[in-house]
């Protein structure tokens, strides 16, 4: 039923009892984690009371969407597949408008549901399409990338990019359920698994250092280069544990502060620079890769401001580099990036605000840093300055 390029349909593989992470927000919902979760997906959609559903999916997941559609139809739903452009190209006003047109054609009404099947770009789009259709209908998220599972599909941040920047238009619109079928990761290319690790590493630094211990113990250094290390192997219990832990971090944060009045900003660790890089690169860099560089920058800002100890700052470089994530960027880009960062959603009255660490799992804020601090931190990203004790990144 699946091609080597495509995700295994959620029915494939032995089903094991799924685990549930409950997101105790205003409208609590379950993140169901397991393998072979097609029945759980159908149950989640049926639980919304919908009679019709639109399944938004990228071209790569055509067969999987087909299998999902068939299962939903067997479950008594009138299900429609809606193919959207791949990756970041899906997060545009034009594609959103296309989705609204299709919703109208198939007759989605207020009781109906959108299914977001794909990576974070599709779940962001699907969430916002659902949030905006008839002023808000239900969405069930089915992330099929590592990054989508551990971050994008959970927490209700939805949106698209505009000329002004990354995720500039969107809504907080929580899913009715999130179905995390680890079997879908089996077709995900290694570089996409690696990109997803950047958000897992972020969760480790802001809240759950056990994540970092697991990656250090079971990451690429633990095997020869031709073998997938347990931390990146979709079949490994180590990756499942990393997924569970990162989802738990996100669930706890969004339950406490859905609309990002304070605590939720910590999930933006590394993202101030990352989003500027993505915009400057016209969204051709993977989000996870940009986040990796942004994490190094944020760690160095914390160090330069005298707030983060050398050991924790250095650990960012070693963990990210060991995973094969980028830790450097164009040495000449700082002034352009600073201008772009001026439109970051955390900026207040023109004052740049960054999430930094005051220690491992102790996130804080740095407001209006002196340009010399930005330059000092960026010199590490630019590969111009190495701290004593850091690994030689070559
Ligand atoms: N809303 C949030 O809280 C949040 C959090 C983190 C990231 N994001 C957003 O998520 C997006 C990045 O998501 P992403 O990294 O998942 O990238 P993506 O959605 O672009 O997917 C990456 C690639 O993987 C392919 N793919 C997806 N599932 C597959 C599978 N099972 N097998 C094979 N190929 C598959 C896609 O077709 C695509 O080419 C960014 O736009 C980012 O801003 C949002
Ligand atoms: O959920 C959040 O809150 C996050 O910040 C998670 C980030 O990983 C994610 O990339 C998010 O989309 C960034 O949101 P933005 O508000 O900075 O656009
Ligand atoms: Zn992110």
Q: Is the pLDDT of residue 387 over 60?
A: no
Decide which of 153, 185, 217 is a domain's last residue. 185
Cα 166-168-170 angle, rounded to 5 deg:
120
The answer to whether 183 and 35 are in contact (CB under 8 A) is yes
Same domain, 246 and 181: no
Contacts 24+ apart (CB under 8 A), 168-171: 168/343, 169/93, 169/128, 170/124, 170/127, 170/128, 170/131, 171/127, 171/128, 171/131, 171/132
For residue 72, report the distance from its CA to the centre of ligand 2, in Å: 30
Same domain, 265 and 368: yes
What are the CA-CA distances from residue 266 to residues 12, 291, 303, 317 (Å)? 37, 13, 17, 19
In Å, the largest CA–CA distance within the chain is 63
Query: What CATH number has the domain bearing residue 146?
Result: 3.40.50.1970
Q: Is residue 144 part of a domain?
A: yes
Q: Is residue 79 part of a domain?
A: yes
Same domain, 135 and 266: no
Residue 161 sits at φ, ψ, to 5 deg, of: -90, 155
Which tops the pLDDT comparison, 363 or 226? Answer: 363
Q: What is the pLDDT of residue 121?
A: 98
Q: What is the pLDDT of residue 226?
A: 82
The residue to which tokens 């994490």 are assigned? 295
Same domain, 205 and 141: no
Same domain, 144 and 63: yes
Q: What is the pLDDT of residue 227?
A: 87
Instruction: Please report, rounded to a whole number, the percentage of residues in the chain having pLDDT higher than 90.
Output: 91
Q: Is the CB of 122 inside a 6 Å radius of any atom of ligand 1?
A: yes
Same domain, 167 and 203: no
Q: Is the pLDDT of residue 384 over 80?
A: no
Q: What is the pLDDT of residue 3?
A: 32
Rounded Cα distance, 345 and 192, in Å: 26
Q: Is the pLDDT of residue 390 over 70?
A: no
Q: Of 83-92, 159-168, 219-228, give the lowest mean pLDDT range.
A: 219-228
Has 318 been labeled as part of a binding site? no
Q: Is residue 394 part of a domain?
A: no
Q: What is the pLDDT of residue 1?
A: 29
Q: What is the pLDDT of residue 87?
A: 98
Query: What CATH number has the domain bearing residue 320?
Result: 1.20.1090.10
Q: Is the pLDDT of residue 5 over 80?
A: no
Best of 267, 286, 354 for a ligand 2 pocket test (most atoms within 8 Å of beta carbon): 267
Q: What is the pLDDT of residue 16?
A: 62
Q: Is residue 324 part of a domain?
A: yes
How many domains, in total, are found in the chain? Answer: 2
Q: Is the pLDDT of residue 133 over 60?
A: yes
Q: What is the pLDDT of residue 14?
A: 53
Q: What is the pLDDT of residue 15?
A: 53
Residue 193 sits at φ, ψ, to 5 deg, of: -60, -45
Same domain, 317 and 332: yes
For residue 82, report the distance from its CA to the centre of ligand 2, in Å: 25
Angle between helices 190-206 and 237-256 (to 10 degrees): 50
Has 271 been labeled as part of a binding site? yes
Q: Is residue 4 part of a domain?
A: no
Predicted ipTM of the assembly? 0.99
Give the range of the structural domain holding residue 25, as residue numbers without chain letter: 19-185
């Amino acid at each position: 039923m699946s091609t080597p390029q495509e995700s295994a349909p959620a029915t494939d593989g032995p089903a094991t009892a799924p685990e549930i992470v409950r997101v105790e927000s205003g409208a609590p919902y379950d993140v169901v984690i397991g393998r072979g979760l097609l029945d759980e997906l159908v149950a989640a959609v049926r639980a919304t009371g919908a009679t019709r559903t639109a399944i938004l999916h990228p071209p790569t997941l055509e067969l999987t969407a087909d299998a999902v559609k068939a299962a939903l139809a067997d479950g008594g739903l009138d299900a429609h597949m809606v193919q959207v452009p791949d990756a970041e190209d899906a997060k545009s006003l034009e594609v959103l408008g296309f989705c609204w047109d299709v919703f109208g054609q198939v007759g989605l009404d207020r009781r109906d549901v959108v299914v977001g099947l794909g990576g974070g770009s599709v779940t962001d789009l699907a969430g916002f399409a659902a949030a905006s259709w008839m002023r808000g209908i239900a969405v069930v998220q089915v992330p099929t990338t590592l990054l989508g599972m551990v971050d994008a599909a959970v927490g209700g941040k939805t949106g698209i990019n505009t000329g002004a920047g990354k995720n500039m238009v969107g809504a907080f619109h929580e899913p009715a359920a999130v179905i995390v079928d680890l079997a879908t990761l089996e077709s995900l290319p290694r570089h996409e698994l690696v990109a997803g690790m950047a958000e897992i590493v972020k969760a480790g630094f802001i809240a759950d250092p056990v994540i970092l211990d697991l990656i250090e113990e079971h990451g690429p250094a633990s095997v020869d280069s031709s073998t997938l290390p347990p931390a990146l192997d979709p079949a490994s219990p180590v990756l499942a544990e990393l997924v569970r832990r990162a989802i738990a971090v996100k669930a706890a944060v969004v339950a406490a502060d859905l609309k990002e009045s304070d605590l939720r900003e910590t999930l933006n660790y590394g993202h101030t620079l990352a989003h500027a890089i993505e915009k400057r690169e016209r969204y051709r860099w993977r989000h996870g890769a940009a986040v990796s560089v942004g994490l190094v920058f944020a760690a160095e800002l914390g160090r330069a401001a005298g707030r983060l100890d050398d050991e924790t700052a250095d650990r960012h470089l070693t963990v990210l580099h060991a995973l094969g994530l980028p830790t450097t960027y164009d040495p000449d880009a700082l002034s352009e990036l600073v201008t772009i960062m001026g439109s970051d959603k955390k900026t207040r009255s023109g004052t740049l605000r960054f999430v930094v660490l005051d220690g491992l799992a102790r996130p804080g804020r740095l407001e209006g840093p002196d340009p010399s601090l930005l330059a000092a931190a960026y010199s590490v990203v630019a590969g111009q300055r190495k701290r004593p004790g850091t690994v030689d990144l070559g």
